[in-house]
Structure 1
Amino acid sequence: MSLAEEFFVGDDLHPIDLVESLAADHQWEFDRVTENQIAMSVEGLWRSYAVTLAWSPQDETLRLICTFEMEPPEHRRAELYDVLNRTNDQVWTGGFTFWSEQNLMVWRYGLSLAGGQVASAPQLNHMISAAITACEKYYPVFQLVAWADRPPAEAMHLAMAEAYGRA
C-alpha cells in the first residue's frame, strides 16, 4: 500500500491533503501554498512542469493547472492558436491554452466533487499523470509550430505517432 493510500483512510480528508501525500509519495518538490492550494514541480522527458492544484469549497471543484514556459515569436502566434485548437479537439480530460502575458502554455482541468463527493488517490494520481502526459505528447508539436515554422496540420502528425521502445 502506498503512502497516499495509507493516508487516505477517512471520508472527510481535504483534497489538497491527499495531493500533498501523493507529491511526497512520488518525491516531487512541492509547496503547500495555502490550505486550499499546492504547487509542485514534476520532471518530464522534455522539461519540468509546474503543477498547481487548488480546491474551491464554494464550487466543490478541484482545479489542476500544469504550465511550462513558452515564448513563441509574435509572427507565429496565429499558427500556435491554430495548433492549440487542433490539439484540444483530440484531448478528453482537459485542454490547453496559451497565456501570452506570462508566456506560459497551460493545461487546465477541473474535477467536480459536487454533493460531497471525495476524490481518491488513484483518481488524483491519474489526473496529474494525464496532465503531464498531455504536455509531453504535445510539447514537440508546439515547438515545431513556434520555432520550426511548420504548419499546424503537419506538426500534429508528430503527436499522432506512437513511439515504442527506446533509441
Structure 2
Amino acid sequence: MAIAQEFWIGDDHHPIDLVESLASDHQWEFDRVTDDQIAMAVEGLWRSYAITLSWSPQDETLRLICTFEMEPPEMRQAALCDLLNRVNDQVWSGAFSFWSEQKLMVWRYGLILAGGAVAGAGQLNRMISDAITCCERFYPAFQLVAWADRDPAEAMKVAMSEAWGRA
C-alpha cells in the first residue's frame, strides 16, 4: 500500500481526517461515522475486512479495529483460543481476539499520541496495512482450526512469515 506524501498537511490535522483522505485515495468504501470515527471496508485476498478507526482525545489514543465474521463450532472454540495465543506470540503491532457474541475475529491496535504527538499519513497507512496483512496471514490457520479440526500447532505452519526478496 503505497502512499502519496501529499496527505500530510500539517501538525494540527485530525487523525481521522487523514484516514478519510487515505480511504478516498485507495478508493475504499468508508463512512465518517462521527468527527472522531471512520468505518471502512477493505477487500483482501481471503475476504473483505471491516476496519474502524476511532480517536479518543481523552486517552490521546487512535484505536484501530479490523474485523471479519467467523462462526466456529462451539466445540472448536477452545482450540481457537489456543491458536489465538500462538498467533499473538508471532505479531508485534497488535493482537487478535475472538468476540464470540458478535461472531467476529478482531485485530486491535492502539496508537498513543500523548503530549501533542501527531500521526502522519504514512504511519496511519502502515497501521491499516499491518492490520490487513495480519488478518490475511493468519486467516487460513483460523479456518483450519475452526473447520478442519486441525491442531493449533499444526495450523500455525500454514501462516506464512513475511516474504522478503523475489522468487
TM bucket, shorter chain: over 0.9
Report the counterpart of residue 41 of structure 1 in structure 2: 41
Measure the CA separation in 2 of the matches of 1:150 and 1:100.
20
The alignment's TM-score, normalised by the length of structure 1, stands at 0.94
Residues 56-101 of structure 1 deviation map (CA, whole Å, 9 limit, x = unaligned): 0000000000000000000000000000000001100000000000
Residues 98-151 of structure 1 deviation map (CA, whole Å, 9 limit, x = unaligned): 000000000000000000000011100000000000000000000000000000
Report the counterpart of residue 58 of structure 1 in structure 2: 58
Residue 19 in structure 1 maps to residue 19 in structure 2: yes
Shift of 1:7: 3.7
Q: 1:165 to 1:150 in 2, by over 3 A?
A: farther
Report the counterpart of residue 108 of structure 1 in structure 2: 108
Q: Please tell me the residue identity of whatever aligns with 2:107.
A: W
Q: Which aligned segments of 4 or more residues in structure 1 are displaced greater than 6 angstroms?
A: 162-166
Shift of 1:8: 2.4
Shift of 1:6: 2.3
Residues 7-38 of structure 1 deviation map (CA, whole Å, 9 limit, x = unaligned): 42221011000000000010000000000000
After superposition, residues 1-167 of structure 1 pair within 5 angstroms as 5-160=5-160
Q: Is the 8 A contact 1:98 1:104 kept in 2?
A: yes
Q: Is the 8 A contact 1:33 1:39 kept in 2?
A: yes
Identity fraction in percent: 76
Shift of 1:161: 5.7
Report the 3-state secondary structure (helix = DSSP H, G, I; strand = E; otherwise coil) of the residue aligned with 1:45: coil
Can you give the 5+ residue segments of structure 2 that lack an aligned partner in the other structure? Answer: none
The alignment's TM-score, normalised by the length of structure 2, stands at 0.94
Measure the CA separation in 2 of the matches of 1:127 and 1:23.
13
Over the residues paired in the alignment, what is the CA RMSD in angstroms? 1.8
Q: Is the 8 A contact 2:45 2:136 kept in 1?
A: yes
Q: Is the 8 A contact 1:49 1:68 kept in 2?
A: yes
Report the 3-state secondary structure (helix = DSSP H, G, I; strand = E; otherwise coil) of the residue aligned with 2:89: helix
Q: Is the 8 A contact 2:22 2:121 kept in 1?
A: yes
Shift of 1:3: 8.2
Q: Please tell me the residue identity of whatever aligns with 2:87.
A: T
